[in-house]
Amino acid sequence: MHALLAQLADGQPLTEAQAVEAFDQVMSGKSLPTQTAALLSLIAQRGATVDELVGAATVMRRKAAKVSVPAGLTAIDTCGTGGDHAGTFNISTAAAIVAAGAGRPMNVCVAKHGNKSVTSKSGSSQVLDTLGVNLKATGDTLTRCLDEAGICFCFAPQHHPAMKHAAPIRADLGFRTIFNLVGPLTNPAGAQRQVMGVFSPKLTDPLARVLHRLGAIHAMVVHGSIPDADGKHADALDELSTCGPSRVTTLLGGDIASAELDPTELGLSLGHPSALRADGPAQSAKTISAVLDGGGGAAREIVALNAAAALVVAGVADDLADGLALAFAALDDGSAKRALGTLIAITNEDAG
């Protein structure tokens, strides 16, 4: 580790192989706390490279507790980086539920990866816990959830035990590290199709390249904006936005392309940000429940848009317009609500 830290201190990034070596030491508990702090700090100071992200994610994937996907099903994920500080309800979690309701009849399931939030008022685990999902479900129960509900929740601490060595150091550092980007790259079900929201538009292209290197088949790396009264990008979303334009970098068949998405071109209304706010898990859960019960407005449209993206990368929607039709149908016919109800029921059967 000394030589690797000296290289970083000299301003030279790590190669993929060196990143594998460094992060294997961190996640095996062989790195001293001071060394781990130095590693994370030096990389954070200039920003992680594609090689460093691929190396760190490779190690984390190797050490993860896996989830088995039922035969014949295609697994997708909607896990984002968080860190957008927009204060919205849990959009990607709601989108995962809708995508499950729409996609399960077409052999698509959602292995939703997530954790507690450290930057927002409600993380995916917190809102799902509030909705009644048992976060401690593991193994065969999660596989059954994928089969019967079309969705499971992979609670990060239960699937990445090797992160226990870095967790207290990350907390003590108090700033965003490479692990904020690596987490969404390490789906425990091995999903090769995903929508990954990021907190900065500068990250969409490099993260798409990382996903390609890690074997992703079809992915969208997205960053949304919430303009202020002057039309400037006052707030950011690590999801597709219906309040303003979004940057979308698509990976498909090894090709990577970026574009700007205007939600009005899909027939969606420009939503008001206030309709998307949530001051905690309870309010977020209330908003999600209202959407699943057929409620309209800005919350319904932003959930449907993000679910549409998930259905596109899953390969069951030709484009976002097609995906929107499927998402709205799943909301209107109750499929999305039933997916959540089945998830809650199965995860609580053995809760004791």
Show which of 41, 63, 85 is a domain's final residue.
63
Beta bridge partners of 109: 75
Same structural domain for residues 127 and 148? yes
**Axis crossing angle, helix 139-148 with helix 335-349, rounded to the nearest 10:** 160
Q: What is the mean pLDDT of the chain?
A: 94
pLDDT bracket for residue 83 (50, 70, 90): low
Query: CA 21 to CA 52: how far, in whole Å?
Result: 11
What's the half-sphere exposure (Cβ side, CA atoms, 13 Å) at 32? 6
Residue 329's nearest CA partner among 295, 306, 304 is: 304
Transcribe 285-313 into DSSP letters.
HHHHHHHHTT--SHHHHHHHHHHHHHHHH
- pLDDT number for residue 116: 76
Assess whether 229 and 99 both reside in one domain. yes
Domain identity same for 96 and 121: yes
Q: Which domain holds residue 13?
A: 2-63
Residue 111 lies in a domain: yes
The answer on 238 and 127 residing in a single domain is yes
Q: Are 127 and 46 members of one domain?
A: no
Number of structural domains found in the chain: 2
Residue of 248, 243, 244, 226 whose CA lies nearest to 235:
226
Q: No. of H helices and E strands in the chain?
A: 15, 8
Final residue belonging to a domain, choices 63, 90, 114: 63
Question: Do 336 and 263 fall into the same domain?
Answer: yes
What is the phi/psi pair of residue 283, to 5°?
A: -70, -35
Q: Is residue 55 domain-shared with residue 80, that is, in the same domain?
A: no
What confidence tens digit (pLDDT) does each residue in 207-236 have? 999 999 999 999 999 999 987 655 555 678
**Domain check: are 23 and 129 in the same one?**
no
> What pTM did the predictor assign?
0.95
Tell me the C-alpha distance between 199 and 177, whole Å: 13
Mean pLDDT, range 90-96, rounded to an integer? 96
The pLDDT of residue 117 is above 80:
no
CATH number, position 17: 1.20.970.10
CB 193 within 8 A of CB 217: yes
Exposed, middle or buried by CB within 10 Å (0-12, 13-18, 19+), for 173? middle
